[in-house]
A and B are shown apart, each in its own frame.
Chain A
Amino acid sequence: MASLTLKNINKIYDNNVQAVFDFNIDIKDGEFIVLVGPSGCGKSTTLRMIAGLEDISSGQLIIDEKDVTQMPAKDRDIAMVFQNYALYAHMTVYENMAFSLTLRKENPNVIHEKVLAAAEILGLTDQLNKKPRQLSGGQRQRVAMGRAIVRTPKVFLFDEPLSNLDAKLRGATRREILLLHKRLGTTMLYVTHDQTEALTLADRIVCMSMGYVQQIGTPLELYDTPANVFVASFIGLPPMNFFNGKIENGHFVCPFFSAPLNDVQKQLLASYEGKEIILGARPENIVQDEKGYINLKVVLNENLGQTTLVHGTVSGHKVTAKFREWCNYKPGDQVLTSINNMHFFDKETTNAIR
Chain B
Amino acid sequence: MNKITDIKSDRMRYTKNSTSATLAYIAILFNALYFLNIYHSDIGTFYYKMQIGFSVIYNLLFMLFVFLSSEGVKKYSMKYSVILIVIGAMQVVRIFGIPLDALNSIAVVKRVEVPVMETKQFVMCVIYLVASATLAIAGGVIGIIKTKKLRDYEKTLISQ
Which residues 1-17 of B have a CB within 8 angstroms of A? 1, 4, 7-8, 10-11, 13-15
- Whether the pair A94, B15 counts as a contact (CB closer than 8 A) is yes
> Which residues of A have CB within 8 Å of B13?
128-129
- Whether the pair A94, B14 counts as a contact (CB closer than 8 A) is yes
> Which residues of B have CB within 8 Å of A113?
4, 7
Complex CA gap A92/B7 in Å reads 19
Question: A285: CB under 8 A from chain B?
Answer: no
Question: A77: CB under 8 A from chain B?
Answer: no
Which residues 107-148 of A have a CB within 8 angstroms of B? 108-109, 112-113, 115-116, 120, 125, 128-129
- Whether the pair A112, B10 counts as a contact (CB closer than 8 A) is yes
Interface size class of B (residues with CB under 8 A): under 10
- Whether the pair B1, A109 counts as a contact (CB closer than 8 A) is no
Complex CA gap A125/B10 in Å reads 13
Contact of A116 among B1, B8, B15 (CB under 8 A): B1
Chain B residue at minimum C-beta to C-beta distance from A107: B7
Contact of B11 among A92, A109, A120, A129 (CB under 8 A): A109
Write the nearest CB–CB distance from B13 to chain A, whole angstroms.
Answer: 8
Tell me what chain A mostly uses at the interface: helix, strand, loop, or mixed.
helix
> Which residues of B have CB within 8 Å of A92?
14
Complex CA gap A181/B72 in Å reads 41
> Which residues of B have CB within 8 Å of A94?
14-15
Complex CA gap A92/B18 in Å reads 14
Q: A109-B7, A109-B8, A113-B7 are in contact. Are A120 and B14 (CB under 8 A)?
A: no
> Which residues of B have CB within 8 Å of A120?
1
Chain B residue at minimum C-beta to C-beta distance from A117: B1
> Which residues of B have CB within 8 Å of A125?
1
- Whether the pair A112, B1 counts as a contact (CB closer than 8 A) is no
Complex CA gap A151/B15 in Å reads 19
What 0/1 readout, one digit per residue, does chain A (79-122) give for beta carbons within 8 Å of chain B?
A: 00000000000001011000000000000110011011000100
Write the nearest CB–CB distance from A310 to chain B, whole angstroms.
Answer: 52
Write the nearest CB–CB distance from A264 to chain B, whole angstroms.
Answer: 58
- Whether the pair A128, B14 counts as a contact (CB closer than 8 A) is yes
Chain B residue at minimum C-beta to C-beta distance from A92: B14
Complex CA gap A109/B9 in Å reads 10
> Which residues of A have CB within 8 Å of B14?
92, 94-95, 112, 115, 128-129
Q: Which residues of B contact A (CB under 8 A)?
A: 1, 4, 7-8, 10-11, 13-15
Q: Which residues of A contact B (CB under 8 A)?
A: 92, 94-95, 108-109, 112-113, 115-116, 120, 125, 128-129
Q: List 15 A-B contacts (CB under 8 A).
A: A92-B14, A95-B14, A95-B15, A109-B7, A109-B8, A109-B11, A112-B7, A112-B10, A112-B11, A113-B4, A113-B7, A115-B14, A116-B1, A116-B4, A129-B14
Given contacts A109-B11, A120-B1, 7 further A-B contacts (CB under 8 A): A95-B14, A112-B11, A113-B4, A115-B14, A116-B4, A125-B1, A128-B13
